[in-house]
Chains A and B, each alone.
Chain A
């Protein structure tokens, strides 16, 4: 018991159990089960986002059920919706709550900038991550895999409004391609990456500013929404997904390059 390590563990355990008890007790009082909210989106703000009828919805301020008329019917092929993305999550991420995504992109930018700032800056050749030299197959195959990774990443970004995916997933796939290049000891231009990152950030701002200038609100949709289910259908969602894909790919890529190049 006199062991400080043991007493620390016991103290932490007591604290955690107390916190857990408080959480579970508060949750459990809602009708005996942990299912505390009505789960249907009709009682939440997201109901109007699914129905793509924010213009017509009138939220009820105090009652439980608060979406407006749900008489809007739409299916693939509908035209002229206020938001044309078939993937509703994408429509929220890149249109209804695009300002959150703006902040998110900035967070990634800040994190990568900070990572570069904090890592000791040792100039050196890219030696790969392992101490052994990468073998012949890896070296030769890496550029091919990289090309496929680029194509897949761009495809995922491009289709983010139709299928699961989007800018962040696509950017992560692009960065994976760069990771394979780093593992195989190939060179990659890090200046190009940081330039891409900055340009993509400025493009994001430009799309937002276009909304500000043309329609009066930052990040407002200025591109026609088209037909639901088609590739050029979602207005600002497609543009933002592409930009985010570029930016995230470049940021994560430069992170990986820095990790491979700078001595750790």
Chain B
């Protein structure tokens, strides 16, 4: 088991190097390599998640807190399985690698991105997290720019500068934390954070959060969102929407025990999250371009996750995990179906999708189901997340925030239903459905969404395990530093 946890990171890296030798071969070899690696990751992380509890790997054999550790506990394994599932679907069913020439290079970057996402989730070291964050960032800058149109470059450049600023601020925060606590290990940091004076802790955590908020597309750091989502190639849109933001959400959940010790910081982040939610969803409401709309919607959902974490408590963490998973699955469906629509109609404006339900009935159904799940209609997966989120808000008596969340949910429902309504309007155009293979992964994901929606009990045990792992610092610290406690 020890080996498998390491392999989750180094196997994609090996694949990235291996692709160089197949640079003149047919494209299907690259696709086969990527599919094999990601399928292996999905299966092995699911097996680890279901079979046993937790695993800590001391890389290089240096025990924590001195060396770098990989922590596969009940929380991180959920997310690794999730991102590997989505990367598998991207690798297998089109996306990045089928669009342009120079395939082995973008395939290698995609594999590095996968490794970086897995590394960000599994690592138990703050600086190592920063390194993998930058690896993911650099790969995604290039892959966004591969879209080749003007907004790809604009989006990638905005992402580079916002990301560079945020990650440097994060590095400053890491420096302050190391300077005052003398450690970089997250579990050790959870125990020693109390040593730092109040104002300095506030500053250091605020700076560290900058990097995470960038990945979560929260307000001051989401200026890059619309252009990047618009210009990125189809597969990269899914990576942005359901992998990188998922990783950001996971990290915030992981840092919850540290955050909760700073009521002042939480008081400051709450209005930020609310502002981000309102701005993103209102921008999405006004948007005519489907991909920019979905990007804004991602930002809104991630603000929702942040709110759930700030509400706190078992219920809040449960809601956060549930919403992150529901969002990742639904957003992947929407982007797959969106790419299918784009190929069919050769347009990205949702108003031109009038009557598409005739040409692509399955696509229309999938889109509607995913949109409903994202909104939180009862019977869908997103509903249970929003329900427990409201429970968490009531428990912590944040009535104002709950009111705003409910209003914004209505806004969200309206703009998604507007698109679905457009799909089902009658229209006499004769559009041919193209690239229907993009619907296969969407069908798989929608089946998962519906299954969990009608029977949330099937994963609530796993998520509850994750909540226990995330909620208290003592659990995590006991796992990582077990020889000391």
Contacts and interface: CB of A to CB of B under 8 A. Distances in A.
| Direct touching of A and B (C-beta under 8 Å) | yes
Interface string B14-39: 10110011000000000000000000
A44 B138 CA distance: 31
Interface residues of A, number: 59
B112 A45 contact: no
A11 to B, nearest CB: 14
A98 B132 CA distance: 13
Contacts, number: 164
Given A64-B195, A221-B61, A100 B3 contact: no
A129 interface: no
Nearest to A218: B6
B141 A211 contact: no
- Which residue among B66, B128, B188 has the maximum number of chain A CB atoms within 10 Å of its CB? B66
B448 interface: no
B68 interface: yes
Nearest to B145: A118
Interface stretch (B85-93, B179-187, B318-326, B428-436): B179-187
B58 A54 contact: no
A198 B20 contact: yes
A29 B200 contact: yes
A211 B66 contact: no
B197 A29 contact: yes
A59 B188 contact: yes
Interface in A66-111: 66, 95-100, 103-104, 106-107, 109-111
Contacts of B199: 25-26, 29
Nearest to A197: B20
Interface in A183-231: 194-195, 198, 201-202, 205, 208-209, 211-212, 215-221
Contacts of A106: 13, 112, 115-116, 135
A110 B139 contact: yes
A23 interface: yes
Interface in B83-115: 102, 105-106, 108-109, 112, 115
Interface string A94-138: 011111100110110111011011100100000000000000000
A117 B131 contact: no
Contacts of A182: none
B294 to A, nearest CB: 25
Contact of B191 (A37, A62, A103, A118): A62
Nearest to B194: A62
Given A26-B200, A66-B182, A103-B131, A96 B106 contact: no
Contacts of B195: 62, 64
B32 to A, nearest CB: 19
Given A37-B182, A202-B17, 10 more contacts: A26-B200, A45-B182, A59-B66, A97-B68, A113-B142, A114-B139, A217-B2, A217-B61, A218-B6, A219-B60
Interface of A: 22-23, 25-27, 29-30, 36-37, 43-46, 48-49, 54, 57-59, 61-62, 64, 66, 95-100, 103-104, 106-107, 109-111, 113-114, 116-118, 121, 194-195, 198, 201-202, 205, 208-209, 211-212, 215-221
14 contacts: A37-B182, A44-B178, A44-B183, A98-B60, A103-B128, A106-B115, A117-B146, A118-B142, A198-B17, A198-B21, A205-B17, A209-B10, A216-B2, A217-B57
